[in-house]
């Protein structure tokens, strides 16, 4: 839109990952499979936690909340990426871009709070197991995170893991240390993937800026992370695997 000598920007052109039409079809197929796998994986984990009474604990409440968040987080960008791969119109309106930015920031900030709450939850489970079943502790966790910035959430995670390390070192038996560490290993991997990709994108000096590298990093924390989270929290989790087995036996009873 031209207003006298001023031009008002009303839309953007999405460059996409590749301009080659043949590659765009391949990218469309890959991203469609990743998107469907992400939705089904996170939704399955949410449903399992909801229907199995054994998973009605604070730890699984946070895991279910993270899966529910990732279910929507990946839907902020992926549908537009898929449409961009098969459409000749590569434009996105200013309002559409603003909506994507708003919802992605909302999801990212919420995930920061969740990861911080989960870190403190792991510290309580390892350092003060007698308080772990007290619901007032979790009211305190959630209320203390209100108003925190991303940096504050990261600080909560670092302090929690420092205290977790001290608590593990106080455990005398090697088997006890391994068991304690295994309870927070999945969360530690999730935190590393999420904050690692964010720091890689937003802390890189402008002098070494690379558009292609930023595309890969952005895809990692917007698409790959939501895909990996349900796998991280379920593959080594006996309770989740047992709940899944029971559901499958109910749906497909043995003859």
Q: What is the mean pLDDT of residues 115-131?
A: 79
pLDDT recorded at residue 43 = 93
Global pTM value = 0.80
Provide the pLDDT confidence category of residue 206 given band limits of 50, 70 and 90: low
149-161 burial string, b = 16+ CB within 10 Å, else e? Answer: ebeebbebbeebb
Nearest to 76 by CA among 97, 91, 94: 97
Beta strands in 52-164 (DSSP E): 91-93
**% helix / strand / coil in the chain, to the nearest 5?**
80, 5, 15
β-strand partners of 3:
6
Cα 97 to its chain centre, rounded Å, is 21
Higher pLDDT, 65 or 89: 65
**Given a cut of 50, is residue 221 above it in pLDDT?**
yes
pLDDT recorded at residue 189 = 87
pLDDT recorded at residue 38 = 92
Provide the pLDDT confidence category of residue 171 given band limits of 50, 70 and 90: confident
**Given a cut of 60, is residue 5 above it in pLDDT?**
no
**Given a cut of 80, is residue 112 above it in pLDDT?**
yes
pLDDT recorded at residue 167 = 86
Task: Give the C-alpha distances (Å, rounded to integers) separating 184 from 64, 131, 189.
Answer: 16, 17, 9
> Across 35-49, 139-153, 232-246, which has the greatest mean pLDDT?
35-49
Higher pLDDT, 32 or 220: 32
Coil/strand/helix, residue 56: coil
**Given a cut of 50, is residue 235 above it in pLDDT?**
yes
Q: Which residue, chain included where needed, has tokens 């504050």?
A: 152
Higher pLDDT, 111 or 145: 111
With contact defined as beta carbons under 8 Å apart, do 86 and 160 qualify? no
Residue 99 C-beta-side C-alpha neighbours within 13 Å = 10
**Given a cut of 80, is residue 45 above it in pLDDT?**
yes
Provide the pLDDT confidence category of residue 255 given band limits of 50, 70 and 90: very low
> Across 35-39, 237-241, 242-246, which has the greatest mean pLDDT?
35-39
β-strand partners of 7:
2
Domain 13-251 is found in CATH 3.40.50.2300: no
Q: What is the mean pLDDT of residues 244-253?
A: 79
pLDDT recorded at residue 110 = 85
Q: Would you kindly state where each structural domain of the chain is located, as residue ranges?
A: 13-251
**Given a cut of 90, is residue 36 above it in pLDDT?**
yes
Q: What is the mean pLDDT of the chain?
A: 80
Residues 6+ apart with CB under 8 A from 223: 31, 34, 35, 38, 74, 77, 78
pLDDT recorded at residue 144 = 59
Provide the pLDDT confidence category of residue 80 given band limits of 50, 70 and 90: confident
């Amino acid at each position: 839109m031209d207003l006298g000598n001023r031009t008002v920007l009303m839309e953007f052109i999405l460059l996409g990952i590749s301009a080659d039409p043949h590659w765009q079809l391949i990218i469309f197929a890959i991203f469609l499979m990743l998107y469907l796998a992400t939705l089904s994986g996170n939704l399955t984990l949410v449903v399992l936690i909801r229907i199995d009474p054994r998973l009605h604990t604070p730890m699984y409440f946070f895991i279910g909340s993270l899966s529910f968040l990732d279910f929507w987080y990946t839907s902020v960008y992926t549908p537009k990426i898929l449409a961009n791969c098969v459409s000749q119109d590569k434009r996105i309106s200013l309002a559409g871009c603003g909506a994507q930015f708003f919802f992605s920031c909302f999801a990212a900030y919420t995930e920061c709070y969740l990861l911080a709450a989960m870190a403190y939850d792991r510290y309580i489970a390892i350092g003060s197991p007698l308080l772990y079943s007290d619901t007032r502790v979790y009211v305190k966790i959630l209320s203390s995170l209100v108003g925190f910035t991303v940096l504050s959430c990261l600080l909560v995670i670092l302090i929690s893991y420092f205290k977790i390390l001290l608590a593990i070192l106080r455990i005398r038996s090697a088997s006890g240390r391994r068991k304690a560490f295994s309870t927070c290993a999945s969360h530690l991997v999730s935190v590393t993937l999420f904050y690692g990709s964010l720091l890689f994108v937003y802390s890189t000096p402008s002098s070494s800026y690379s558009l292609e590298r930023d595309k890969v990093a952005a895809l990692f924390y917007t698409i790959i992370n939501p895909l990996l989270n349900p796998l991280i929290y379920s593959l080594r989790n006996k309770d989740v695997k047992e709940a899944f087995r029971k559901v499958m036996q109910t749906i497909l009873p043995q003859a």
